[in-house]
Amino acid sequence: MKSDMRMKPAKFFAAGILFLSVVLFFPSALARGQEYRTFRWEKENVENRTRYQLGPFRIYPVIRLREIGYDDNVYRQRDPDGPVSDFTATFSPEVQVFVLYKNWLILQMRENPEYAFFANETRERSLNNRFSLGYKFRIFNQFVFSGDFFFNRTRVRATSEFDVRANQIFIRYEGGLFYETPRETSFGIKSSIQGYNYEDELIPGEPVYYSRTLDRTEVELRGEFYYKLRQNTFFFAYAGLTDYEFKYAESKVKDSYSWEGMAGLRFPIVGSIRGSLGLGYKKLIPRAGNQKQFSGPIGNVSLEARIRRFNLRANFSKDVEFSYWTNNIFFVEYRYGGGLSFYLTRFIRVDYDYSNGDNRYPEETVVRLPDESYEIIQRTDRYISHSVGMVFRIIRNTGLGLTLNLWERASNDYRYGSRTSLFLGGYITYDF
């Protein structure tokens, strides 16, 4: 009861910030996730990226063609269960539209319909859509209101725990108020309300009731700080509080809240070093007192460095995800990896990427073994993936790629066993 009382003022304040940013003006656009961009940066980015202009509208269209190829395990089943293979392709056109008004207003819209095709597994065919609206409104030259609305309806594996795809509807409202200096240092407050809704999957022999265990609403309030170190390179820090409220009675045990803080560096979008590096701490506290908590370091690192003909990549992530397992509220997801690209010529690039890591579940589980004995385990799943490919440049930074990806998962719970998936196919990239 005490923790609930502590959360109510934060939820009330978050709703107030959201009201100021979204209702006083109007709903907005691209969900910005964990990054804030200054008004000046966004205005210059829009001006540089504009491909077509029609009156006040600046238009940036993109056509994506990905996952064209052969998947030998569509549902990521164990070998004894008879994995299903199929040919698949995803066509994803997108258009972004911007309006710049003088030096104090940016409006933006994004529409991204997507069709996922499967030759034989018709139940996996889906028409997805991502839509967003957004604005940034600058007053007194240094105060910036922002607001975002984001709608996403897709058939995806929402987390690494998902073996089969499921329809997910994600809706997010976000508002913020920031102070920006002429040197592009900024600090402010941001709040968001977002909802997750899933469709249950009833594949033969493996019904998964995603909606009953994962449908929820999240309310977040956080403060953020960005300090410009050099051209497009920033030190950032944030701290925030999130409240999680689940929809159905059988998942109310997952109701919880978390404290989180992180600091790091964000590098330029273009340049010899790109990406971001962030390390922090998180504490997830279930409201049901008999459930295990999480507290510990978290991180999100994605770096890329270009050295002559080589492109080097390094990745690391650690965070907490909600689980659809009935006796586990969450699992800790830990990943690390890297990659290397080598430009054979100006028109041919060879790629290799590797990833390794665990999903660790905190609650002990009693497992009945095939010999009728029992053992107590804490489930741990190990993930490994290898990807090799080659990209052929078509024009400018546009290339046609071929890839071979091997995904593996092993679990210490024999009921889930080892699973592998091999994908061979092609894609179009705009980052040659």
Q: Are 244 and 282 in contact (CB under 8 A)?
A: no
411, 412, 415, 417 alpha-carbon torsion, rounded to 10°: 40
Specify the number of domains making up the chain: 1
Encode pLDDT of 381-432 as tens digits.
999 999 999 999 998 889 999 999 999 999 998 888 899 999 999 999 988 8
What predicted TM-score, i.e. pTM, was given to this entire model? 0.87
CA separation, residue 404 to residues 8, 71, 380 (Å): 50, 10, 27
- Distance, in Å, from the CA atom of 101 to the CA atom of 361, rounded to the nearest integer, reads 51
Structure tokens at 71: 């998947």
pLDDT value of position 246: 96
pLDDT band (50, 70, 90) for residue 15: very low
Does the pLDDT at position 3 exceed 70? no
Average confidence (pLDDT) over 49-73? 91
| pLDDT of amino acid 264 | 96
Tokens of 398: 């546009």
What CATH number should be reported for the domain holding residue 267? Answer: 2.40.160
Looking at residue 24, its pLDDT comes to 41
Indicate if the pLDDT at residue 202 is higher than 80.
no
Domain holding 353, by residue range, is: 2-429
Residue 11 host element (H or E): helix 2-18
Query: Six-digit token pair at 220?
Result: 């977040």
Average confidence (pLDDT) over 9-29: 43
**Maximum alpha-carbon separation in the chain:** 75
* Model pLDDT for residues 295-339, shown as the tens digit of each residue: 999 999 999 999 999 999 999 999 999 998 878 999 999 999 999
Specify the pLDDT at position 101.
94
Instruction: Say if CB 73 and CB 406 are below 8 A apart.
Output: no
Rounded-to-integer distance, Cα 284 and Cα 301, Å:
21
Mean pLDDT of 30-44: 74
Average pLDDT over residues 103-118: 96
Give the residue from 100, 106, 103 showing the smallest Cα distance to 182: 103
Would you say residue 129 has pLDDT above 70?
Answer: yes
Long-range Cβ pairs for the range 273-278 (8 Å, 24+): 273/303, 273/304, 273/305, 273/306, 274/303, 274/304, 274/305, 275/301, 275/302, 275/303, 275/304, 276/35, 276/300, 276/301, 276/302, 276/303, 277/301, 277/303, 278/34, 278/236
What pLDDT, in 10s, does the model give residues 209-230? 889 999 999 999 999 999 999 8
